[in-house]
Copies of this chain bind each other. A is one copy, B any other.
């Protein structure tokens, strides 16, 4: 919870006696309503890195048996110290557990978040494929989109993918 009272002087779109012309604002604009979406997007931006990390860590443990900083760094395309700092934050948040010079492990909470992210990621990627975009594009776009998809939209995607027959998401 970062900002709170931001909606102070807020609204009243067409200010009293200012140089705005014809009363302005027909209807399409409603400050607080729009702010909702932006707030949601900002929030998503805040947590998406955590999600990316735990998801990747889960993948690494599953496939290579362990999650090392160098591997995480290579896959995220960032430097190792960046990963180290991030892991410290994730540890503070109780998502991972790291023993110095040994590996990184997911806590129960981390496991949950990782699984949820992975799930969502797969749904989005499969959906994009079903929609007709190339596998390459689906993979890249889904990386950014997955964090901004609400449960409702996710459901719609799931339904569409299933209906699209290909059974890509299947299972």
Taken together as a complex, chains A and B put the C-alpha atoms of A84 and B70 apart, in Å, by 40
A interface size (C-beta, 8 A): 75
Contacting residues, chain B, for A32 (C-beta < 8 A): 74
Chain A, interface SS category: helix
Give chain B nearest CB distance to A157 CB in angstroms. Answer: 7
Give chain B nearest CB distance to A109 CB in angstroms. Answer: 23
What residues of chain A have their CB less than 8 Å away from a CB belonging to chain B? 3, 6-7, 9-11, 13-15, 18-21, 24-26, 28-29, 31-42, 44-45, 48, 52, 56, 59-60, 63-66, 68, 70-71, 73-79, 128, 131-134, 137-145, 147-150, 152-153, 156-157, 159-160
Would you call A144 and B148 a contact (CB within 8 A)? yes
